[in-house]
Amino acid sequence: MPGKYLNIEEVKTKLELICLQYGDICECELIQLPYATSGEKNTDIIKEINNNDYYEITGIDNDDYYVNSGVKAGVKDCWAIRIKAGFSTPRHGILMIGGVHGEEWGSTDILVYFVESMLQAYHDHADLVLGSKTYLAAEVKEVLESLEIFVVPLVNPDGRAFSYSEGLDEWNRDRNLWRKNRTATTTPDYGVDLNRNYDWLFDYKAHMHQDTYNGNRPCELLNGGISDDPKEDNYQGPSAFSEPETRNVEYLLNQYPNIRFFVDVHCATELGLIGYPWFDDDPQNDDFLMDFRNESYNEFRGIRQKGTSWFWCPGCDDCASQLVAPLYREYMAKEDEERYKEIGKEMVSAIQAVRGTVYEVRRGNQLVWYSEVADAIDYAFSRHKTSPESGKVDALVIEWGPYGEWLQDWPECTNKFQPLYEEPPGIDRMTPVILDVSAGLTALCKTALRVPLIRLTPNPLDFGMVVRGGNVQRCVSLTNLSTQHVKILWTKIEPTSPAPVVKIISANAGVMVTPGQSETLLVGFSPVSDVDDIEAQLLVGLQYETESIIQDVRSVKLHGMGDLVSAFYQAMSFRPRHSQDISRLETLCHSEFTLTIDCPQFEALSQGLSLSEFLRKIRVWHVQSLRITEDHRSPMTGSLITSHVMIRIRTLGNKEYKARCRIRFTLQKASGRWYINAADIQVLETEEI
């Protein structure tokens, strides 16, 4: 245990040292991340350097000042370490990041210690002893030989360097409380809150109810979580991934698709917390249409009904009394939420075993008193929903803290972010925290071992044209890449768009898949209502034969074009041919899609109508025949569905028309059935090319 916080240079040196020390017994790779930080350069940093007795300018090149060991001041490289022992392949990856907020010094030290202690135990064939918690040597071996661990201990080197430096920030505060990075945003303001710079509901003024940020509803207080004002500590930046530090995290998630778990280590002040998505609103497990991708809920997201705000209620009389309908809650599959709780519980148990510290597992929007968006873990978990090619990443945040009343327990600490960390005989309040969190991280690794390592192919699965009453069957191959038997608990199809009633043709429950073997799952669609597009997920519940259950759900995206679109084409005598880059109609609900139609007789068919009028005419025809069943609408409020479509019509002689449209459906019940009561199709722009 070092006994002092690592300085910037030490972080890299320590990682290099670890790679050299343990490179003989396992793969230890130091990865230079592709984006160097863009913090302040030159004069400001030179003043800092001059005030620091441990930095020394050693050279100047192209206005970049180099300090000790060739590290550029203000333009720093970021580093990750990749660890993998043994030869088994493939394996799950775990990405751990820390040092995101400049003032939370301990997170970096925790991650470096975690890496070193795991490798040292592995090297020595020794147990990993963390206070009163011991992981056996065999457990350490299994973790390192079964997983690939990626650690970025210092995401934000500029913020940390600034926080280490003497003097005041732009707002006359002691620099040691600096949170953001050091990007020069608008003079004289510096910095972006990196944990508000990810591409998840980034444009919060478009995605959230205005009362969440304009102060009209004091109970919502999204403003406590994010800001578009560069002067604020939680300034989100000009655009998602505007910052090199967040692009580095995105790079790792893209570059290593085996990453199945993601953990972001932060410092809360008083409580130790483990959080899981979502952060924008209360969760629900029933209405899959009510999720962050559905633009129809943009005016409603983030507002809670009186009595449901976990922090302010019960007891608060200040909530606006009227209910804002529909009541939005963020969807998460029940199995996903259960798995998060189970993982969190095991982490809590491991942490408690170290010295008795009790952490709490909370969902994102109950982690702290405010809601937030554009954060790392929501982004990481949302990826499998926004891009079909991304695998699922279970994402958690650890908020370490001293617990209980700070002043009572740690009266000698200067502030709540930087516990005393002195070498003996001084006071060391950081080492116990390092041991706590390392135990939690090890527990996460152990839990990851129990998550089945399987591959489902093909993914996505395209059903092509599906008509009402017809059955289309396809095969999905499930390959067991783990070393233990995997039991299929159940399979089901869950529509992810305003889908038809589908009857699944599948009888796979109870099938045992032996290691290295594949099993074929027969999947069938049988739509029993009119639809114009099908998007669904094949969900497979899995369990290891010899371990306790971790409910897990793997999904295959299913696409199909229903008979409504088919009828639409037939009525118009069109023969559809999708554009080359969009091979299918995307879900009505969540995406913008392009439809290219070869229609040599367009002018004749349209009978002199403008393109805009023509599209409206089509809409009137096809919307009236769409019927929705109870099962596929929101159980709480009824569903609004918004879709964007770019329609391109090519006529004889390669004449081309383009129209960008927005379609908004409103569902209503009549005679015991749900219908599309209104469809507002707005042609946003048309163009004749």
Partner 1 sequence: MSMVEIKIVTGKSKEAAKVLKLLQQAHAVVSEVKRAGEDVKQGIVIEAYLTKESIGRLESEGVAVQVIRDLSESKDPRTFVSKENRFRDALEKLRQTRRR
When the beta carbons of 2 and 391 are compared against partner 1, the nearer one is: 2
Residue 511 CA, chain-centre distance (Å), reads 32
- Least distance (Å) from partner 1 to the CB of residue 166? 7
Look at residues 373, 584, 556 and name the one whose alpha carbon lies nearest to residue 479: 556
The C-alpha angle with vertex 214 and arms to 211 and 217, in degrees rounded to 5, equals 45
CB 78 within 8 A of CB 35: yes
For residue 411, cis peptide bond before it (omega within 30 degrees of 0): no
Look at residues 168, 193, 177 and name the one whose alpha carbon lies nearest to residue 416: 177
Q: Write out the binding residues for partner 1, residues 311-370 only, by CB under 8 A.
A: 311-319, 368-369
Is 5 one of the binding residues for partner 1 (CB under 8 A)?
yes
Do β-strands 673-688 and 534-544 pair in parallel, antiparallel, or remain unpaired? unpaired
Instruction: Looking at 82-241, list the stretches that DSSP marks H as alpha helix, in order from N- to C-terminal side.
Output: 106-124, 137-146, 157-164, 204-207
Is 415 one of the binding residues for partner 1 (CB under 8 A)?
yes
Q: Which of 56, 124, 409, 422 binds partner 1 (CB under 8 A)?
A: 422
When the beta carbons of 229 and 389 are compared against partner 1, the nearer one is: 229
Binding residue count for partner 1, defined by CB under 8 A? 63
Q: Which residue has the tokens 């922090």?
A: 311
When the beta carbons of 181 and 497 are compared against partner 1, the nearer one is: 181
Q: Write out the binding residues for partner 1, residues 240-269 only, by CB under 8 A.
A: 269
Rounded CA separation 379/236 (Å)? 14
Rounded CA separation 39/75 (Å)? 6
Query: What b/e string do you get for 569-592 counting C-beta neighbours within 10 Å, with b at 16 or more?
Result: eeebebebeeeeeeebbbbbbbbe
Q: Which of 412, 545, 631, 687 binds partner 1 (CB under 8 A)?
A: 412
Is 425 one of the binding residues for partner 1 (CB under 8 A)?
no
Rounded CA separation 602/348 (Å)? 64
Q: Which of 141, 416, 455, 644 binds partner 1 (CB under 8 A)?
A: 416
When the beta carbons of 223 and 625 are compared against partner 1, the nearer one is: 223
When the beta carbons of 313 and 582 are compared against partner 1, the nearer one is: 313
Q: Which of 177, 511, 582, 679 binds partner 1 (CB under 8 A)?
A: 177
When the beta carbons of 425 and 672 are compared against partner 1, the nearer one is: 425
Look at residues 509, 562, 570 and name the one whose alpha carbon lies nearest to residue 535: 562
- Least distance (Å) from partner 1 to the CB of residue 223? 7
Contacting range for partner 1; rule: CB under 8 A; set: 16-24, 26-34, 40-48, 553-561: 16-24
Residue 286 CA, chain-centre distance (Å), reads 20
Contacting range for partner 1; rule: CB under 8 A; set: 1-9, 76-84, 378-386, 610-618: 1-9
Non-local (6+) Cβ contacts of 47 within 8 A are none
Contacting range for partner 1; rule: CB under 8 A; set: 33-41, 225-233, 437-445, 644-652: 225-233
Rounded CA separation 274/399 (Å)? 6
Is 410 one of the binding residues for partner 1 (CB under 8 A)?
no
Rounded CA separation 57/59 (Å)? 6
> Residue 94: enclosing H or E segment and its boundaries?
strand 92-97
Q: Write out the binding residues for partner 1, residues 19-38 only, by CB under 8 A.
A: 20-21
Q: Which of 76, 179, 446, 650 binds partner 1 (CB under 8 A)?
A: 179
- Backbone Cα Rg of the chain: 27
Is 168 one of the binding residues for partner 1 (CB under 8 A)?
yes
Q: Which of 68, 390, 591, 686 binds partner 1 (CB under 8 A)?
A: 68
Rounded CA separation 438/98 (Å)? 13
When the beta carbons of 168 and 670 are compared against partner 1, the nearer one is: 168
Is 172 one of the binding residues for partner 1 (CB under 8 A)?
yes
Q: Write out the binding residues for partner 1, residues 444-473 only, by CB under 8 A.
A: none
Contacting range for partner 1; rule: CB under 8 A; set: 80-88, 124-132, 410-418, 458-466: 410-418
- Least distance (Å) from partner 1 to the CB of residue 315? 4
Q: Which of 221, 347, 534, 663 binds partner 1 (CB under 8 A)?
A: 221
Burial class (CB in 10 A: 0-12, 13-18, 19+), 358: exposed
Strands (E), 451-609: 454-457, 461-465, 472-480, 486-495, 512-513, 518-525, 534-544, 552-561, 575-576, 592-598
> Three-class SS of residue 407?
helix
Token digits for 626? 């769409």
When the beta carbons of 292 and 421 are compared against partner 1, the nearer one is: 421
- Least distance (Å) from partner 1 to the CB of residue 179? 7
Residue count of the chain, please give it. 689
Q: Write out the binding residues for partner 1, residues 474-533 only, by CB under 8 A.
A: none
Residue 437 phi/psi, 5-degree rounding, is -70, -35
Is 164 one of the binding residues for partner 1 (CB under 8 A)?
yes
Is 166 one of the binding residues for partner 1 (CB under 8 A)?
yes
Q: Which of 32, 186, 414, 682 binds partner 1 (CB under 8 A)?
A: 414
> Residue 340: enclosing H or E segment and its boundaries?
helix 334-355
Do β-strands 283-284 and 330-331 pair in parallel, antiparallel, or remain unpaired? parallel
Is 232 one of the binding residues for partner 1 (CB under 8 A)?
yes
Q: Which of 215, 458, 515, 516 binds partner 1 (CB under 8 A)?
A: 215
Is 584 one of the binding residues for partner 1 (CB under 8 A)?
no
Q: Which of 417, 463, 525, 675 binds partner 1 (CB under 8 A)?
A: 417
Question: 294: which DSSP letter?
Answer: -
> Three-class SS of residue 82?
strand
Residues that bind partner 1 in the complex, under the rule CB under 8 A = 2, 4-7, 9-10, 13-14, 16-17, 20-21, 53-54, 68-69, 103, 105, 164, 166, 168, 171-174, 176-177, 179, 215, 218-219, 221, 223-224, 231-233, 269-270, 311-319, 368-369, 407, 412-418, 420-422, 430
